[in-house]
Amino acid sequence: MYFRWDWLRPQLTAPIVPTLGPIHPDALTVDIFEDILRVADTGDFLPYDKDRRWGGEKDEKVLREDVVHQRERTLIPTLIRRGRGTVKVFAYGLPDSLVDEATELAAKLAARHDVVNARVVRPLSPETTHPRGTRIQWKDFATSPCPATDGPVRPVTDWPTTVQETFAAFAEAMAGEGLAFLHTQMQAGQCGPVLAAVIADRVVGAIGPMDVRPDSIGRPQLMPQYFAVLPHARGHGLGKLLWRAAMHWGQSHDAAYQLLQTKVGGASDKLCQSEGLISLGFSHMTHV
């Protein structure tokens, strides 16, 4: 299997690549798509895969033999065995029948591989009216300075030990936002710094880990972070303080850019829009 770039490129309405997620537009080449096919059966991480930070084997792989690649449509299915299992079909193209075709393929592959969940992922352009799902946001560190912030935000390890010990309860309370997983990585010493917001000697918000790694074309990228503030502490600007502290860290460590995914209309989405991030498009996932 190989991809014809003259077919695929016009179908890429948003820079989303199966198993990798959002990609910088300048790095969006046919080589990226060839790479994800190449490692489909090995369990290896690509050198620029953001999930490589966590070690182990790659959990999501392309079902290479079931890829559909035609002039007007490309369907790329992936399989995740974690939990009860998930098949995703990434649907690229413009025909009205595309989603129906992707839905049929997802259901068929879920049954074949004996997994419970089937999804269709549809990348959508930045000009999409009334978008749903997630927005792909781009922060370009070359466009403006990211000054240090004042306020109760600093790396977790810079707070007194008694404050650090409250991170566990915070992480458990925000497990749905990935903070419990992040805490396990912190305890194992397997991730970069995490910035924490503290009120009354208790952690009430955090963003991290902070890490800069090269993308597929060697450009330094600030990797995506987990980001959460306890519900009772919201509305006081802590989210913005955490965000700006993270951007200051990224720029200070020579990151060229960051890509984020935010739920359309959610608090993080509104924050990123207010901070001047550029929308590169949307990703809409439907359950089959």
- Single pTM value for the model: 0.91
Predicted pLDDT at 192: 92
Looking at this protein, which amino acid is placed at residue 238?
Answer: L
Predicted pLDDT at 1: 59
Length of the chain: 288
Let me know whether 111 and 184 are in one domain: no
Domain that holds residue 209: 143-255
In our burial notation (b when 16+ CB lie closer than 10 A, e otherwise), range 45-63 reads bbebbbbebeeeebbbbbb
Let me know whether 69 and 157 are in one domain: no
Confirm whether 286 is domain-assigned: no
Let me know whether 72 and 150 are in one domain: no
- What is the pLDDT confidence band of residue 108, given thresholds at 50, 70 and 90? very high
CA distance readout (Å), 100 to 75, 97, 111, 178, 281: 11, 5, 17, 32, 22
Let me know whether 67 and 102 are in one domain: yes
Let me know whether 204 and 121 are in one domain: no
- For β-strands 220-222 and 257-263, DSSP reports them as parallel
Predicted pLDDT at 148: 93
Let me know whether 152 and 98 are in one domain: no
- Residue-wise pLDDT tens digits, 128-146: 998 989 999 999 999 999 9
Mean pLDDT of 108-114: 97
- Tell me how many domains the chain contains: 2
- Residue-wise pLDDT tens digits, 65-86: 999 999 999 999 999 998 999 9
Predicted pLDDT at 141: 97
Let me know whether 58 and 159 are in one domain: no
Let me know whether 124 and 23 are in one domain: yes
Q: Which of 124, 86, 84 is nearest to 106 (CA)?
A: 86
- Residue-wise pLDDT tens digits, 2-19: 899 999 999 999 999 999
Let me know whether 122 and 18 are in one domain: yes
Confirm whether 287 is domain-assigned: no
Predicted pLDDT at 94: 84
State the chain's mean pLDDT as an integer: 95
* Final residue belonging to a domain, choices 115, 133, 151: 133
Coil/strand/helix, residue 116: coil
Confirm whether 283 is domain-assigned: no
